[in-house]
Amino acid sequence: MTSIKHQIFPSFRKTKKLWILLILWELSCNVYAQNYSCPKANNAYSSLIDIIDKTRSLDLLVTENVYGNPSYETYTKYNNRLNQAQKMLVQLDQIDKDFKECADKFPNSTNYLLNSSISKLTALNILFKKQNYLNHLMLDANTLKQYEDLKDKWESKERENLKLARSQVSRLLIGDKSNEYLQILNAICLFYDKKTDKAIVDLKTIVDALKIEITQKKSEAADVHEKEKNLSFALTWLGFMHAEKSNVAQASIYLEEVNSIDEPDSRCIDWIDHCKKQNKEAKVKCCDLKVAEITIPTSTGNFEWKALKFQNANNTSEEFNLLEVSTPLITNQRELIKQTTDCWNRLVALENVSWQLYVERIQQTDGKLSSDDYAKLFVKLTPDNKGAGPINLLRYRERFVSGFELLNHLQFLRQCWSALITSNPEIGFYKLYRTKTDLGIYYLSQNSKSFTEFLDYYKLNKKSIPTQFAIKIKESFEISVLNELNDDIRWCIKENPENPMYILTNVEVAVLSKSSSEALSYINEVKPLIVKATPNFPGYDGALEMYKSYVHFKMKNMGDLKQSVQILSAYGNASDWNKDLKNYIYLFENENKVKK
């Protein structure tokens, strides 16, 4: 008997999960069970609920943004998300069609028309954020056509859905003017129709009326569940609309209010919780909290790239020549990011050359530098030494060529980033990279003399550099970017005040452009913010310490500098800088040994 029993129920324990799933499925079916006279409507209803719940899976935080240089894996992630959204739009179309059929068959029942409107508004939730889904296609030449086709299709769908949803909701409202739920839907239609201010006013009126009704009903111990559900619906959209208008403080107030309702709609609560969690993470990981549509500038113009040459055009004889090469701007952001980073690597390396040579000589001679040693160093240019000989001047010439090339490159990049910013003023990421570029230009302009001084001494075939060239070159170094640089970073911080990347960039600006005491004071001020915002990202804290050490280095504050070196030894990504710092400390400590 037992064996038969086992044969019939061979492995209940093994299939326990399956049973639980079946029971849950059955329960969920019951939850969604609606009984419509129109048979199609039952399926359409459960499919609609299913899609509304699934739209959550489209909301995610991608670790690499489309403005940057997304990897293949990230690109696939963006693509999968787009495919998922497209599938949902097709399903929503079918659902809408089913409800409309039912509405025609049963004209006396308003439910079908209402559900048809809801399915259209759900589709609008996706279509409204089309740049969220399509941006990545525009950044690849191979998918540009697909981008344009989809953008047109989505835009026309958005217009059509909005028009129909508005007319359906208006029709329903005629028959039931005091219905708060329909009034909320109407306000949502207004929002999608870009009448946000009117939508906000309407929703606020609905919210106020609902609050009064709920208070009255509660005092009469009546059922207020339906009213509270509508109140949470209205408040959530009110919060969202304020957030879209960048009125974050007001948005938070409304969204917090939803949490204080006794029986709010669970989907509203879930959406708010998810947004809160994702926004908290986004403040740290993302530059841009809003995803703007990317516009690639069509006519970008050229940059006049200057270079001082020491031979004629045919390289046949030695003579000065200042060449200006017209170079088209780049709009490929991946390339721009790469080149901006590369410029900074070159700048850091270039500025370290003189230090490295000096330290190396001192280390090898214990400070007793001979003429041969000086021949390997940069010797200061003075009117007395008249350039300290041709080898020294040639070394300065090389430094100038590299520095001037770097300056031109940074100015070129600046113009490229500016072109992107002009077309996309809402994207902070571009402004951030222009700031990084400007920082390099600012550094070079502040130290221009160290590059251009050699022009006064250098001679080619006993001829000095022509004055008009020297003036042009010196003018190139006298570029002022500080105001725009400050404007950019201020804009970024205003958009996302807690973003550690923006805060660090502001520190970089302070360290390079302000007095040491001001810079140190700012570093100390923002340190708690950085530590709080990035508990799991020691890189930020390490970067802050790097800037601090830089200020100590500039001030030759040996005690603090040594302490910084010790702290930085714990940060792997600061190892190169720490190595340089150790050299600088060695130099400061052994400088006095050098017999001048």
Partner 1 sequence: MKKLYPLVIILITFQLLGCKSKREAFVTIAPPVKPFFQEKVGLALNSPPPMVMPSAKTINEIEISSQYFKIAVSLVLDKSGKAEAIKNLIDDQFATALDQTKRFTVMDKGTMMNLVTNTEKGVVYETGVYKETKSPKYENEPDSVISVDEKTQTSQPIASTKKNVNMFVPKKSIFQLFGNLETNPQAYEEYVNEIKSYTDGVLRIVITGFDDKNKKLDIDYKISSSTTSNYPLYSGSGKIGFSLEKEEATLTLERKDIESIVDDIAKSFPNPELKTYQIIQVNGRKITVNAGKKDNIKTGMLGYVIKMDGARTSYRAWIEVTEVFMDAFNAELKVEDLAKINSNRGKENSVTDDEYAQYVNLLNTIKVGEFVKMK
Footprint of partner 1 on residues 174-193 (CB under 8 A)? 181
Q: Of 410, 493, 285, which Cα lies nearest the Cα of 508?
A: 493
Residue with Cβ nearer partner 1 (47 or 327)? 47
Give the containing element (helix H, strand E) for 441. helix 428-446
**Closest distance of CB 322 from partner 1, Å:** 24
The two three-digit tokens of residue 53, written as one number: 């719940």
Residue with Cβ nearer partner 1 (312 or 341)? 341
**Closest distance of CB 518 from partner 1, Å:** 16
- By CB under 8 A, how many residues form the interface with partner 1? 110
**Binding positions for partner 1, 18-37, rule CB under 8 A:** 33-37
Q: Is 588 helix (H, G, I), strand (E, B) or coil?
A: helix
Site membership for partner 1, residue 365 (CB under 8 A): no
Task: Mark 29-42 as b/e (b = at least 16 C-beta within 10 Å).
Answer: eeeeeeebebebbb
Site membership for partner 1, residue 380 (CB under 8 A): yes
For residues 114, 120, 126, 129, the Cα torsion angle rounded to the nearest 10 degrees is -100
Residue with Cβ nearer partner 1 (320 or 458)? 458
Site membership for partner 1, residue 489 (CB under 8 A): no
- For partner 1, the binding residue among 5, 17, 177, 596 (CB under 8 A) is 596
Site membership for partner 1, residue 200 (CB under 8 A): no
Binding segment (CB under 8 A) for partner 1, from list 148-156, 268-276, 308-316, 478-486 = 268-276
**Binding positions for partner 1, 446-485, rule CB under 8 A:** 447, 450
**Closest distance of CB 303 from partner 1, Å:** 22
Residue with Cβ nearer partner 1 (232 or 411)? 232
- Give me the DSSP letters along 252-281: HHHHHHHHTSSS--HHHHHHHHHHHHHHHH
| Cβ(130)–Cβ(147) below 8 Å | no
Alpha carbon distance 545, 361 (integer Å): 29
Site membership for partner 1, residue 279 (CB under 8 A): yes
Site membership for partner 1, residue 491 (CB under 8 A): no
**Closest distance of CB 469 from partner 1, Å:** 23
- For partner 1, the binding residue among 336, 407, 421, 546 (CB under 8 A) is 546
Alpha carbon distance 52, 506 (integer Å): 42
Alpha carbon distance 213, 215 (integer Å): 5
Binding segment (CB under 8 A) for partner 1, from list 211-219, 228-236, 301-309, 407-415 = 228-236
**Closest distance of CB 482 from partner 1, Å:** 15
Residue with Cβ nearer partner 1 (244 or 324)? 244
Alpha carbon distance 588, 283 (integer Å): 41
Phi–psi pair at 326, nearest 5 degrees: -75, 120
10 exposed, middle or buried (CB, 10 Å; 0-12, 13-18, 19+)? exposed
DSSP 58: G
**Closest distance of CB 22 from partner 1, Å:** 18
- For partner 1, the binding residue among 15, 76, 156, 382 (CB under 8 A) is 382
Binding segment (CB under 8 A) for partner 1, from list 9-17, 212-220, 316-324, 540-548 = 540-548
The number of angstroms, rounded, from the C-alpha of 548 to the middle of its chain's C-alpha atoms is 26
- Per-residue mark of binding to partner 1, 300-329 (x: CB under 8 A): ------------------------------
- For partner 1, the binding residue among 501, 510, 520, 561 (CB under 8 A) is 501
Site membership for partner 1, residue 543 (CB under 8 A): yes
**Closest distance of CB 514 from partner 1, Å:** 14
Residue with Cβ nearer partner 1 (88 or 473)? 88
Binding segment (CB under 8 A) for partner 1, from list 212-220, 328-336, 382-390, 464-472 = 382-390
The two three-digit tokens of residue 127, written as one number: 């279509």
Site membership for partner 1, residue 61 (CB under 8 A): yes
- For partner 1, the binding residue among 91, 161, 236, 424 (CB under 8 A) is 236
Residue with Cβ nearer partner 1 (211 or 267)? 267
**Binding positions for partner 1, 95-124, rule CB under 8 A:** 106, 108-109, 111, 114, 118, 121-122
Site membership for partner 1, residue 593 (CB under 8 A): no
Phi–psi pair at 327, nearest 5 degrees: -120, 125
Alpha carbon distance 122, 119 (integer Å): 5
Is the C-alpha dihedral spanning 132, 138, 143, 149 positive or negative? positive
Beta strands at 463-464 and 302-309: parallel, antiparallel or unpaired: unpaired
- For partner 1, the binding residue among 44, 66, 200, 523 (CB under 8 A) is 66
Site membership for partner 1, residue 413 (CB under 8 A): no
**Closest distance of CB 315 from partner 1, Å:** 30
Alpha carbon distance 500, 477 (integer Å): 31
Q: Is 185 helix (H, G, I), strand (E, B) or coil?
A: helix
Site membership for partner 1, residue 47 (CB under 8 A): no
Site membership for partner 1, residue 508 (CB under 8 A): yes
Each as own residue / partner, the long-range contacts of residues 336-342 (CB below 8 Å, 24 or more positions apart, any chain) are 336/413, 336/416, 336/417, 336/420, 336/433, 337/68, 337/69, 337/433, 338/69, 339/409, 339/413, 340/413, 340/417, 340/433, 340/436, 340/437
Residue with Cβ nearer partner 1 (347 or 520)? 347
